[in-house]
Amino acid sequence: MMRSFEDDPLTRAILPPLNESPEARHARERAEAEAKNISDEIDEQIRRERESDRRKKKPVKLLLLGQSESGKTATLKNFQLTYGHKEWAQERSAWKMVIFFNLVRNVNTIMDILAREMSNSAHATDSDESSDEARFGNSPLAFKEKHRLLKLRLGPLRRIQTDLERRLGSSAVEPVSTSVYTAAPFGNSTRSDGGTLRHEFYINSNNGWKSALDKVKVTMRPGRADIASDSLRKIRGVDDEISEVIAGCRDDMKAIWEDTTIRKMLTVTKTKMEESPGFFLNDVERIAVNDYEPTDDDIIRARLRTLGVQEYRITFDHGRSVGQEWRLYDVGGTRSCRAAWYPYFEDVHAIIFLAPISCFDEKLAEDRRINRLEDSYLLWRSVCSCQLLARTQLILFLNKTDLLEKKLMGGVRVRDHVPSFGDRNNDLPSAARYFQAHFRDILKQHSPIQRPFIVHLTSVIDTRATAVTLAAVEESVLRHNLRRADLM
């Protein structure tokens, strides 16, 4: 049997009374319209709040790519310094051990060369004096007793380097060689069942600079109950000893860096200490003291290589995305690390690609046959042509412009290494323009669909200038994703 609407008690309750007067009807309709307006307004408010919550919660995902030593981690540190200052300050003291490690490694590199050259020169003097003259031209390296003594007195730094390597783990060791012979070994990383590889396979939390730093941080925090106090005491004892030995070697470290014979030796052996990552010999006086506290610049310049992929979360403390979380993925850049990048391409909003353009005359550390600029071009081409990234915003940092300028001013000629550079002026603006045009051509030719060429000339160790660049990056990432109606 069919039931009429009037049978429903609820419907009956809200039906207008049968004997309603025209005035009463009018008043009721007005009240109903008003109630509907209020209800619509509430709905709209809820929608807006939900939308804003969604916007707040949805993190911006940014991937940092580029070859090893291109400045990815240094860029990440700039993000942290600029937008997540609280955490940055908390990590400050943990960086001390990394900076000590970098400094000690600088000194030991010189000591290795000194030992070799002293033995060569002694040998040459014994057997054939003229070959020694020929080798060092008109300025033979005149090693004296003081060099032997310096070598002896700085001997303890070898053990300190070993202790620090143990403390920091595999990130402290730079790569020797690789069995990967392509620039971008990530083109076909799909599983045999057709699915893509998951992130979890690749987040390797037991290595990389972040974990190395965490390890140091944990043992530095006062009153850690979860570490057996004996082992904590032991670790802190080692740290104190490291600081003492380094402070004790302060004058001798200064002496070797200021010694003219040693400087000459470095020139003759073509050792460019100042260009090596984590160079701190100009700051010995300030750093090699017991109560040393790293400055912002020291931390940016400190070097620990990245292994695997490290996720870093920063809730922006100011700027357009204040309160919003940004997830930055910092990857290891050596060729053997690159296969691990691919799974991160899937849902990333933007990529900052770092190409160190000062490296036009250098070879990859992991494969001495490959020119570093050439490797950056190949890698950039693979990123531009990757189908999965067709709609991802690409932001190019032509980095290490400070080193490029120094190199060119020092007389290194671009055309000797890049013949197509031709007769252009051998200065920073011309070289940067030339390299930039090449990167632009690659993007235009190899992108599956048209995309803008966004480029910044950077020196990411300059924290002030980089803060300005990062504000531009923030703006363009948000604008791009607004268009994609993805983040906003």
Ligand X SMILES: Nc1nc2c(ncn2[C@@H]2O[C@H](COP(=O)(O)OP(=O)(O)OP(=O)(O)O)[C@@H](O)[C@H]2O)c(=O)[nH]1
Cα distance between residue 327 and residue 342, in whole Å: 17
Listed ranges 79-87, 179-187, 196-204, 304-312: which one lies at the site for Mg ion (CB under 5 A): 304-312
- 399 among annotated binding-site residues: yes
Q: Is the Cβ of residue 140 or residue 356 nearer to ligand X in the bound state?
A: 356
Closest approach of Cβ 312 to ligand X, in Å? 12
Say how many Å lie between the first and final Cα of the chain, rounded: 53
- Other Cβ atoms closer than 10 A to 438: 17
Listed ranges 81-89, 255-263, 264-272, 301-309: which one lies at the site for ligand X (CB under 6 A): 301-309
Cα distance between residue 88 and residue 30, in whole Å: 59
Listed ranges 67-75, 99-107, 134-142, 317-325: which one lies at the site for Mg ion (CB under 5 A): 67-75
- 306 among annotated binding-site residues: yes
Q: Is 102 in the site for Mg ion (CB under 5 A)?
A: no
Q: Which of 59, 277, 283, 471 binds ligand X (CB under 6 A)?
A: 277
Q: Is 403 in the site for ligand X (CB under 6 A)?
A: yes
Q: Which of 389, 460, 470, 478 binds ligand X (CB under 6 A)?
A: 460
Angle at the Cα of 307 (from 83 to 368), degrees rounded to 5?
A: 115
Listed ranges 36-44, 225-233, 253-261, 400-408: which one lies at the site for ligand X (CB under 6 A): 400-408
If contact means CB under 5 to 8 A according to the sort of partner, which of ligand X, Mg ion, none does residue 399 touch? ligand X
Cα distance between residue 81 and residue 91, in whole Å: 11
Q: Is 306 in the site for Mg ion (CB under 5 A)?
A: yes
Give the number of residues in contact with Mg ion, rule: CB under 5 A. Answer: 3
Closest approach of Cβ 330 to Mg ion, in Å? 6
Cα distance between residue 428 and residue 404, in whole Å: 7
Cα distance between residue 391 and residue 405, in whole Å: 34
Q: Find where tokens 């695997």 sit.
A: 308
If contact means CB under 5 to 8 A according to the sort of partner, which of Mg ion, ligand X, none does residue 140 touch? none
Distances (CA, A) of 137 to 9, 107, 128, 187, 264: 110, 26, 15, 51, 12
Q: Is 106 in the site for ligand X (CB under 6 A)?
A: no
- 108 among annotated binding-site residues: no
Angle at the Cα of 341 (from 214 to 217), degrees rounded to 5?
A: 5
Site string for Mg ion, 71-90 (x = CB under 5 A): -xx-----------------
Q: What contacts 24+ positions apart, CB below 8 Å, involve 428-434? A: 428/401, 428/404, 431/357, 431/360, 431/404, 432/357, 432/398, 432/401, 432/404, 432/457
Sheet holding 325-331, edge to edge: 309-315, 325-331, 60-66, 350-356, 393-399, 454-457
What tokens does 385 get?
Answer: 């042509």
Say how many CA atoms lie within 13 Å of 137 toward its Cβ: 6
- 400 among annotated binding-site residues: yes
Listed ranges 197-205, 214-222, 283-291, 395-403: which one lies at the site for ligand X (CB under 6 A): 395-403
Closest approach of Cβ 313 to Mg ion, in Å? 17
Sign of CA dihedral 316, 317, 321, 324: positive
Closest approach of Cβ 305 to Mg ion, in Å? 6
Site string for ligand X, 306-345 (x = CB under 6 A): x-------------------------xx------------
Helix (H, G, I), strand (E, B) or coil at 181: coil
Q: Is 211 in the site for ligand X (CB under 6 A)?
A: no
Q: Is the Cβ of residue 73 or residue 376 nearer to Mg ion in the bound state?
A: 73
- For the segment 34-93, give every residue that binds ligand X (CB under 6 A): 66, 68-74
CB 218 within 8 A of CB 224: yes
Amino acid identity, position 84: G
- 363 among annotated binding-site residues: no
- The site for Mg ion (CB under 5 A) is made up of 72-73, 306
- The site for ligand X (CB under 6 A) is made up of 66, 68-74, 277-278, 300-301, 303, 305-306, 332-333, 399-400, 402-403, 459-461
Q: Which residues are annotated as a binding site for Mg(2+)?
A: 306
Q: Which residues are annotated as a binding site?
A: 306, 399-402
